Amino acid sequence: MGDRDLRVSDVEREHVGRLLQRAVGLGMLSLGEFTERMDTALAAKTRGELNAVLVDLPGVRLVGQPAPAAPGWAPAQPRWMPQPRYVQAQAQYAQGQAHYLPGHRMAPAVPGNVIRARLSSVDRKGSWQVPPTLMINSFMGSVKLDFTQAVMSTQVVEIHVNDTCASLELIVPAEATVDLNNIDLVASSAETKVRTGPPIGPLHIIVHGTLRFSSVTAKQPFAATWKKFLNGA
């Protein structure tokens, strides 16, 4: 019997789950790919099945390999060991199938990338740190994200929305592009007043998820819009 046929434990599945979360944070995987691979990892019975979700990720130590992971890749060991149900819940939240992450110790893949608004408003502007992925869950609330002076870590920012009776406003610099084509609209609207792509500038925003009786708008700052109007653009 080869190593590929050896049975795997929950600890090994959880190790792979942390690597997949790290890959999302680095922009190697989308939230949809994370969910698909996490489902495969949780159902894996052998090392061959488990390693299949890692083979195309650079610098990752496959299950059963004695060599350490490449420097800078391996996540720090947490004080607690996440159980598969927590990892699966995170994947469900990312896809809009759950409205919260169970357990007070369950953190998102990237610290600070979850925005929740309940009958409230959230306004991020100035030199705020933008993670590669943002998850927005809003109920009868409003979220305004101003990227004009934000500190970017990646060129592409992926925003997953799960909004009900809410509004999302994206204010982007002139050279930015925004893609709103992958949103499921239920009695909602999605309007972009900027270029939709391809990502030729320093910032490209992709929004996907579900809007129910909600709206999302992408536009440039008022000053830039007014200048275009005066120039006859």
- The tokens for 167 are 């509004």
Range of the domain at 150: 114-230
Does residue 128 contact residue 153 with C-beta atoms inside 8 Å? no
Q: Is the pLDDT of residue 98 over 50?
A: no
Domain-terminating residue out of 59, 94, 129? 94
Task: Determine the Cα–Cα distance for residues 60 and 73; give it in Å rounded to an integer.
Answer: 7
| Residue 79 in domain | yes
Question: pLDDT digits over 24-80, tens only?
Answer: 777 788 877 888 888 888 888 998 898 888 888 876 666 665 544 444 444 444 333
| Residue 105 in domain | no
Using the 8-state DSSP alphabet, how is residue 18 labeled? Answer: H
Are 119 and 226 contained in the same domain?
yes
Question: pLDDT digits over 127-164, tens only?
Answer: 999 999 999 999 999 999 999 999 988 889 999 999 99
| Residue 81 in domain | yes
| Residue 185 in domain | yes
Half-sphere exposure of 180 (CA within 13 A, CB side): 18
Are 161 and 226 contained in the same domain?
yes
| Residue 222 in domain | yes
- pTM of the shown model: 0.52
| Residue 166 in domain | yes
Number of H helices, E strands in the chain: 5, 12
* Residue 132 falls in which region: left (phi positive, over 0), alpha (psi -120 to 50) or beta: alpha
Task: Determine the Cα–Cα distance for residues 26 and 40; give it in Å rounded to an integer.
Answer: 21
Task: Determine the Cα–Cα distance for residues 40 and 38; give it in Å rounded to an integer.
Answer: 5
Tokens 């996907």 -> residue: 208
Q: Is 106 helix (H, G, I), strand (E, B) or coil?
A: coil
- The tokens for 8 are 């795997």
Q: How many domains does the chain have?
A: 2
| Residue 104 in domain | no
